[in-house]
């Protein structure tokens, strides 16, 4: 072994075993708490990727920091083990999903431990474990009992390859998120969770949490609140009416045609006999497209005329009724008044089908979507769109309303590898909930889990049988669908607070002690899925009285992705994947940890660099050598190094709290270089340096602490050092001198100098003295003086 290097291959596993045996990172359930959480991994067969540790190391550093600050820290981990990918992988390899998942969990656990992540392994959970999904099923029953779970016939996204229903967020660009097959629309009876009961709270309570602003915006857009009006059009020569929702009633005089969605209820009544065949043919074609395809603005608009006309209530004009798939059945009333002069989609459509385009708002070029003064609008001419909106609504007897884009959450899946939905049905298809004391409904193993279009659980002999008790209640068949895995992950963070409880999903006092989560770290791609579902379930359980808080995540941060060295997304097909096992074998866990923090600002996407990790490793070796070779030197009293060390402690403390890890790592490097350059290295800083290094490089820190500095206890029993004991009195610092916010120069003063001291120095400086003509001054001690 090279004496200039520390031996990570021995040191890393040695201390990992030591921490595990000593339960170093287990939470205590008493004191001042911090709950620090990563989004739990889904244990894929590929194992960890270097992207995973970016978030995990960050939360680990924060957790370890707070532990040294004297907090009772809970930093748990578990596995999001149910779901399509596990099932697909199992199908591909021909092994049972349970076995495949169990193997992956073992491998993931080893990998997580090899990074030195201080998880509390006594709390580990696995969503495919009956002890866990018993409570997922219980959650379903609670929602059902409170009318937040219900069944409905609905068009659903259907993946013909995976043979399953997909949630909207699992459809990407019209294709199945997992396998890329084009998704089609199908009508089925499905279970839904009524997330829309909490729409306003989901928007409003974003004010209570510390999330990245962009994530709050994404959630608000996803919920899609809009203010508009409902108005009703009569249909010519008929008793029928059509109600539309519009956000631009001010443009009513410009409505030159109407459009119904292909799914519009009782569409037949709005079609003439002559047009029947054409319209039916069109509807059939439209049913092959997904909502997303239909929404895509770039696609060519399609549609057909129904043969009928509606009457514009503002001016009595007859306007043709069309059917077109750019109008969605699921939003508003599935019908629009089309105003081609002021709506982009209507404009495109009108041009294509040669429908009249009438300008009613003055402004720019058509389609003009902005506001302005009305024209061609009879008595409203000259009024501004804003005020005319209210007046026109009144005139046509419209109703001002609010609508949301958020839809209820479709949770049934015709798949095997998930939590069975705990209900039977009677002969009239009414659900009979399974009683809480009969949970869990265990997932059977005698199942043909390869996709066939039917729920795989139907192939189980055991599962199909109905117990006597439920036959007496009238049960004639079982529910064979399983729950969307996002249900499993919508409440897992509550289970960590009391993971072995077999009486309740978690005890109230434990939930109230640990929740809400002080820091939640995970990918921004979950903004409209998991993060909204978890917020909804928390609100539902709060409403049922299980706890008092309304938001699960007090603070949320997203790690940026680690890209390949070629600046592209890491993927097997691009051949640019870096395996963390290789990095750890070559450079050690601490180099991996520190490098991932050093790459760049935590939330940015950064390419991997082998040269970069080599640099970090050199820094760790340098730290090791300088401490090994000098810790017995005289302690005092190098003023320059003392000032630098004071700055270092201040900076690492601040940067760790703010998650500015990259600048923290570079501060460590700058300090170690400064120490090494000294002819004679003093040792006063050594112990506290090891302490502040510990969250970042725990293995090396424990080695230095116990083996080099020969301490009898673990570094993790130490407290975070106070910077102030290194404060050098009367040291000279630089104050920036500004004129009306612009930098004009600098003066060097003793730290803590008064405003007058600084002004005197400015006065002495021929280049700056003229600033004294300004009467107003703002002085921020030790930093800036501004004259204006
Ligand atoms: C007339 C109009 C004129 C509209 C105009 C817009 C501009 P947001 O703001 O997202 O809520 N709309 C209503 N229901 C629809 C459906 N089922 N499918 C597709 N589009 C639908 O959007 C509200 C607007 O979306 C409504 O206002 C309606 O078009 C359209 F110059 O009505 B508007």
Q: What is the pLDDT of residues 482-525, one digit of tens each?
A: 999 999 999 999 999 999 999 999 999 999 999 999 999 999 99
Question: Which atom of ligand 1 is nearest the CA belonging to 333?
Answer: 17
Q: Phi-psi region for residue 147, left (φ > 0), alpha (ψ -120 to 50) or beta?
A: left
Exposed / middle / buried, residue 756 (Cβ in 10 Å: 0-12, 13-18, 19+) = exposed
What pTM value is reported for the model?
0.88
Going from the Cα of 320 to the center of ligand 1, the distance in angstroms, rounded, reads 18
* Residue 403 Cβ < 6 Å to ligand 1: yes
pLDDT of residue 586 exceeding 70: yes
Total Cβ atoms within 10 A of residue 466? 15
**CB of 334 closer than 6 angstroms to any ligand 1 atom:** yes
C-beta contacts of 508-515 below 8 A and 24+ residues apart: 508/546, 508/547, 510/29, 511/546, 511/547, 512/547, 512/548, 512/549, 513/29, 513/33, 514/33, 514/35, 514/74, 515/35, 515/547, 515/549, 515/552
Residue 453, pLDDT above cutoff 70: no
Ligand 1, atom 22, residue with closest C-alpha:
247
Segment 726-761, tens digit of pLDDT: 988 888 889 999 999 999 999 999 888 999 999 999
Ligand 1 and 40: CB distance under 6 A: no
Q: What's the whole-number mean pLDDT along residues 433-447? A: 94
Pocket lining: 291 vs ligand 1, CB cutoff 6 Å: no
Q: What is the rounded average pLDDT of the residues 62-80? A: 98
Q: How far is CA 532 from CA 147, 408, 411, 551, in A?
A: 19, 12, 14, 11
Asked if pLDDT for residue 299 goes beyond 70, the answer is no
pLDDT-derived band at 552, boundaries 50, 70, 90: very high
Asked if residue 297 has pLDDT above 60, the reply is: no
Nearest CA among 581, 700, 699 for reference residue 111: 581
Nearest residue by C-alpha to atom 31 in ligand 1: 342
Ligand 1 atom at minimum distance from 247 CA = 27
Q: Is the CB of 39 under 6 A from ligand 1?
A: no
* Residue 539 in contact with ligand 1 by CB distance below 6 A: no
**Helices 589-598 and 610-630, axial angle in degrees (round to 10):** 120
User: Atom 2 in ligand 1: which residue has the minimum CA distance?
Assistant: 248
The closest alpha carbon to 263, from 186, 164, 316, belongs to 186
pLDDT at 298: 59
- Asked if 341 contacts 365 with a C-beta cutoff of 8 angstroms, the reply is no
Let me know if 425 is exposed, middle or buried by CB neighbors in 10 A (0-12, 13-18, 19+).
Answer: middle
Cα distances (Å, whole numbers) of residue 352 to 258, 283, 339, 346: 15, 19, 14, 10
Size of the chain in residues? 788
Candidate of 336, 366, 396, 401 to mutate for ligand 1, largest count of ligand atoms within 8 Å of Cβ:
336
In degrees rounded to 5, what are phi and psi of residue 124? -60, 140
pLDDT of residue 435 exceeding 90, the answer is yes
Instruction: Pick the closest to residue 323 from 280, 363, 365, 372 (CA basis).
Output: 280
Q: Is 226 in the pocket of ligand 1 (CB under 6 A)?
A: yes
Packing angle, helices 661-677 and 589-598, rounded to 10: 110
Q: What is the band of 451 on the pLDDT scale with cuts at 50, 70, 90? A: low
Query: Residue 599: its pLDDT value, please?
Result: 96
Taking the centre of ligand 1 as the mean of its atom positions, its distance from the CA of residue 253, in whole angstroms, is: 15
Residue ID of nearest Cα to ligand 1 atom 14? 332
Average pLDDT over residues 20-49: 93
- For residue 167, what pLDDT is reported? 67
Average pLDDT (205-218) is: 97
Question: What's the 345 CA to ligand 1 centre distance in angstroms?
Answer: 10
Query: Which atom of ligand 1 is nearest to 245's Cα?
Result: 13
Strand, coil or helix: 156 = strand
- The reported pLDDT for the residue numbered 389 is 93
688 lines ligand 1 (CB under 6 A): no
What pLDDT score was predicted for residue 452? 65
Please write the tens of the pLDDT for every residue from 100-133. 899 999 999 999 999 999 999 999 999 999 999 9
Q: Is 593 a residue whose pLDDT tops 90?
A: yes
The pLDDT tens digits of the residues spanning 364-373 come to 999 999 999 9
C-alpha dihedral (441, 442, 448, 450), degrees to nearest 10: 80
**What are the two backbone dihedrals, phi and then psi, of residue 172, each rounded to the nearest 5 degrees?**
-115, 115
* pLDDT interval class at 778 (50, 70, 90): very high
Q: Whose CA is nearest to atom 7 of ligand 1?
A: 343
The span from the CA of 17 to the CA of 25, in Å, is 12
Name the residue among 478, 419, 530, 464 with its Cα closest to residue 41: 530
Candidate of 248, 293, 337 to mutate for ligand 1, largest count of ligand atoms within 8 Å of Cβ: 248
- Compute the C-alpha angle 734/739/745, nearest 5°: 35
For residue 147, how far is its CA from the centre of ligand 1 (angstroms)? 30
Question: What are the C-alpha distances in Å from 211 to residues 90, 159, 527?
Answer: 36, 33, 10
Residue 45 banded pLDDT, cuts 50, 70, 90? confident
Q: In ligand 1, which atom is closest to the CA atom of 331?
A: 17
Number of CB atoms found within 10 A of residue 110's CB: 12
Give the number of other Cβ atoms within 10 Å of residue 604's Cβ.
11
Mean pLDDT (the chain, rounded): 93
Q: Would you say the CB of residue 514 lies under 6 angstroms from ligand 1? A: no
Ligand 1 atom closest to the Cα of residue 338 is 1
Give the containing element (helix H, strand E) for 337. strand 335-338
The answer to whether residue 30 scores a pLDDT higher than 80 is yes
Q: Quick one: pLDDT at residue 405?
A: 93
Select the highest-mean-pLDDT range: 85-94, 299-308, 346-355: 346-355
pLDDT at 400: 95
Q: Which of 255, 339, 343 most suits a substitution to test ligand 1, by most atoms within 8 Å of the C-beta? A: 343
Does ligand 1 lie within 6 Å of residue 315's CB atom? Answer: no
Cα(524) to ligand 1 centroid in Å equals 29
What's residue 147's pLDDT? 98
Indicate whether residue 360 lines ligand 1 (CB < 6 A): no
Query: Percent of the chain having pLDDT more than 70?
Result: 98
- Our answer on whether the CB atom of 385 is closer than 6 Å to any ligand 1 atom is no
Which of 331, 337, 358, 388 to mutate for ligand 1's pocket (most ligand atoms within 8 Å of CB)?
331
Atom 5 of ligand 1: nearest residue by CA position: 343
Cβ–ligand 1 distance for 331 under 6 Å, the answer: yes
Ligand 1 pocket, mutate which of 225, 230, 247 (most atoms under 8 A from CB)? 247
Q: Which of 78, 198, 211 has its CA nearest to residue 553?
A: 211
Helix then strand then coil, % of the chain, to nearest 5: 40, 20, 40
Is pLDDT of 330 > 70?
yes
Closest residue by Cα to atom 12, ligand 1, is: 336
389 lines ligand 1 (CB under 6 A): no
Q: Which helix (H) or strand (E) holds 194?
A: none
What residues contact residue 280 under an 8 Å CB cut-off, 6+ apart?
none
Does the pLDDT value for residue 166 go beyond 60? yes
pLDDT band at 450 (very low <50, low <70, confident <90, very high): low
For ligand 1, atom 33: residue with the closest CA: 246
DSSP category for residue 5: S
More confident call, 292 vs 44: 44
Instruction: Report, as an integer, the average pLDDT of 576-602.
Output: 96
């Amino acid at each position: 072994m090279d004496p200039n290097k520390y031996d990570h291959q021995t040191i890393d596993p040695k201390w990992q075993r030591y921490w595990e045996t000593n339960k170093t990172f287990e939470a205590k359930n008493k004191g001042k708490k911090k709950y620090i959480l990563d989004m739990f991994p889904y244990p894929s067969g590929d194992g960890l990727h270097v992207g995973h540790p970016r978030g995990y190391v960050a939360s680990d550093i924060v957790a370890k920091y707070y532990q040294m600050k004297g907090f009772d820290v809970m930093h748990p981990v578990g596995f999001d083990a149910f779901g399509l990918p596990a099932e697909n992988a199992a199908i591909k390899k021909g092994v049972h999903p349970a076995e495949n998942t169990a193997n992956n969990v073992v491998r993931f656990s080893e990998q997580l431990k090899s990074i030195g992540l201080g998880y509390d392994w006594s709390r580990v959970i696995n969503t495919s474990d009956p002890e866990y999904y018993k409570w997922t099923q219980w959650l379903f029953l609670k929602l059902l009992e409170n009318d937040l779970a219900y069944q409905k016939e609905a068009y659903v996204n259907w993946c013909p390859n995976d043979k399953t229903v997909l949630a909207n967020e699992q459809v990407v660009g019209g294709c199945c998120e997992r396998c890329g097959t084009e998704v089609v629309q199908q009508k089925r009876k499905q279970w839904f969770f009524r997330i829309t009961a909490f729409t306003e709270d989901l928007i409003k309570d974003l004010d209570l949490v510390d999330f990245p602003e962009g994530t709050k915006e994404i959630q608000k857009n996803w919920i899609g609140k809009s203010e508009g009006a409902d108005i009703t059009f009569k249909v010519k020569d008929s008793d029928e009416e059509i109600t539309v929702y519009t956000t631009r009633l001010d443009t009513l005089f410009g409505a030159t045609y109407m459009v119904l969605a292909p799914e519009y209820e009782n569409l037949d009544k709005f079609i003439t006999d002559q047009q029947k065949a054409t319209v039916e043919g069109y509807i059939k074609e439209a049913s092959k497209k997904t909502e997303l395809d239909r929404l895509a603005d770039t696609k060519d608009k399609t549609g057909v005329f129904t043969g009928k006309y509606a009457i514009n209530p503002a001016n009595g004009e007859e306007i043709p009724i069309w059917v077109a798939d750019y109008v969605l059945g699921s939003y508003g009333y599935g019908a629009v008044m089309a105003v081609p002069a002021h709506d982009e989609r209507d404009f495109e459509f009108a041009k294509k089908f040669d429908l009249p385009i009438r300008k009613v708002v003055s402004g720019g070029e058509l389609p003009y979507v902005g506001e302005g003064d009305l024209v061609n609008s009879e008595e409203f001419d000259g009024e501004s769109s804003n005020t005319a909106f209210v007046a026109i609504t009144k005139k046509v007897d419209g109703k001002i309303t609010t609508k949301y884009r958020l839809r209820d959450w479709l949770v049934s899946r015709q798949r095997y590898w998930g939590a069975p939905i705990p209900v039977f049905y009677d002969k009239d298809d009414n659900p009979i909930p399974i009683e809480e004391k009969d949970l869990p409904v265990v997932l059977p193993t005698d199942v043909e889990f390869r996709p066939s279009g039917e729920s795989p659980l139907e192939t189980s002999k055991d599962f199909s049988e109905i117990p006597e008790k439920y036959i007496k209640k009238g049960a004639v068949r079982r529910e064979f669908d399983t729950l969307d895995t996002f249900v499993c992950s919508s409440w897992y963070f509550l289970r960590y607070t009391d993971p072995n409880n077999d009486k309740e999903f978690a005890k109230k006092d434990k939930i109230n002690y640990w929740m809400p989560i002080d820091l939640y770290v995970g990918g921004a791609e979950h903004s409209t899925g998991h993060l909204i579902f978890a917020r909804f379930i928390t609100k539902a359980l709060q409403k049922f009285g299980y706890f008092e808080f309304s938001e699960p995540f007090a603070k949320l941060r997203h790690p940026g992705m680690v890209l390949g060295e070629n600046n592209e997304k890491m993927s097997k097909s691009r051949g640019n994947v870096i395996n963390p096992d290789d990095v750890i074998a070559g450079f050690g866990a601490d180099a991996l940890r520190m490098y991932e923090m050093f790459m760049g600002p935590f939330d940015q996407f950064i390419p991997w660099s082998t040269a970069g990790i080599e640099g970090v490793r050199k820094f760790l070796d340098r730290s090791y050598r300088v401490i090994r070779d000098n810790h017995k030197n005289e302690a005092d009293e190098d003023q320059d190094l003392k000032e630098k060390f004071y700055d270092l402690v201040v900076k690492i403390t601040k940067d760790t709290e703010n998650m500015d890890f990259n600048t923290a790592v570079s501060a460590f490097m700058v300090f170690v270089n400064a120490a090494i350059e000294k002819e004679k290295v003093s040792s006063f800083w050594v112990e506290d340096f090891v302490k502040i290094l510990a969250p970042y490089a725990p293995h090396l820190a424990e080695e230095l602490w116990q083996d080099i500095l020969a301490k009898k206890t673990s570094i993790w029993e130490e407290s975070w050092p106070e910077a102030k004991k290194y404060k050098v009195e009367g040291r000279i610092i630089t104050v920036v001198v500004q004129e009306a916010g612009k930098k004009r120069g600098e003066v060097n003063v003793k730290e803590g100098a008064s405003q007058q001291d600084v002004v005197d120095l400015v006065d002495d400086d021929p280049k700056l003295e003229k600033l004294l003509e300004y009467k107003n001054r703002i002085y921020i001690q030790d930093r800036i003086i501004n004259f204006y």
